[in-house]
Each structure stands twice: as structure tokens, then as C-alpha cells.
Amino acid sequence: MEKGMQVSYGEIVAKCWEDAAYKKEFIQDPEAKLAEAGIALEEGVNYKVIEAPKMVQYIVLPAENTKSAVQEIAKLLLNKSEKNNVVIPADVEIRMIQETADTRYLILPSSPKTLTAAELAMVTGGGSTATGTNSVAQAEVAAQVVEGQTVATTTTTIAEAEAVVVVAGACVLV
């Protein structure tokens, strides 16, 4: 997902955190909310929202070029294990899901309001905090969370996938 699209999606996520009705609409019809936000939709593709429970991180694998994405994740894990025996922090669960030719998954992370300061730092890579009244900060946190939870899409190049995997490692594998 391009940087501009990440920010737009981050704004959607922040709205979901603040407005239960909007969240319900987004879950039921993600295509409509993505289009409203100016995010280009792939023709013939269904979009599904997955709500990530607290302390659960998703890694979304692409439908194509999966081998490259998995190899990069493996390298990341090996590098992390060389530096520290704890690759995944206690109480954190990592789930992987793979897209198909006609399905894209959108991860809706838990609101930072439901996370402790330490959990929020773990999710965002320690670089941001958000307050309940600052939607700009929430959108930035949401964009970081989204960036950290999306490994690759079917339209990314291998180099882009590698860059996103590194970001995922910084956000997820603290």
C-alpha cells in the first residue's frame, strides 16, 4: 500500500476507533468506505475486514510472489533471533493470512484506547502515542499499525515487499 493510501486507510481506522456506527458500516461494506477515502479499488476483487483483537498482529501475505514475502519474513525472524532470544514478545500473537486472486484483507487493529502505553509502543514500534481527542495522532498511529501489519500486496514489487517486511518487523517483532 502506497504511503498516501496508508494515511487514507489510517484515517478510516481512526474513524472506526471513534465511531461505532462507522466501524460497523466499514466492516459490512469496506469497498464503499475505501472509495469515499479515495483509495483505488481493484476491479473484480472483494475486500474483507478482519478485526484484530488486542495484542494480535496480522501479517498479510500476497496471493502472488508469496515465496519472496515468506523468505523475507524468515530472514527477519533469523536476524531478530540472533540479537535476542525473544522474537515475539510475551502475550503477543502473530497470525498470517494469505490473500487470493480475488480477495484482499484489510486489518482493523484494536483502538489504542484499549491498549496500555507499553502495548501501544509495541504495536507502533515505540514511535508514537495517541490521545482520545487527537484524531490526527490516531490516524498517524493507525497508518503505522496498518503499515506494520501488511507485508505485501499483489501489486508490490519484491523490493517494496522487503521494505514493508522490515517495517513489519519494527512494529510487530519488538
Which tens digits make up the pLDDT trace of 4-17?
A: 788 899 999 999 99
* Domain ranges across the chain: 3-172
Indicate the pairing of strand 93-98 with strand 56-61. parallel
Q: Number of C-alpha atoms within 13 angstroms, CB side, residue 88?
A: 11
Which tens digits make up the pLDDT trace of 32-69?
A: 999 999 999 999 999 999 999 989 999 999 999 899 99
pTM of the entire predicted model? 0.66
In the block, cell 501479517 appears at 59
CB 112 within 8 A of CB 75: no
Query: Residues 68-73: what's their mean pLDDT?
Result: 91
Cell of 109: 487493529
Helix, strand or coil for residue 143? helix
Highest mean pLDDT out of 50-59, 76-85, 132-141: 50-59
Evaluate whether the domain defined by 3-172 bears CATH number 3.30.160.
no
Query: Residues 153-174: what's their mean pLDDT?
Result: 34
Which tens digits make up the pLDDT trace of 138-160?
A: 444 454 444 444 443 333 333 33
Cell of 15: 474513524
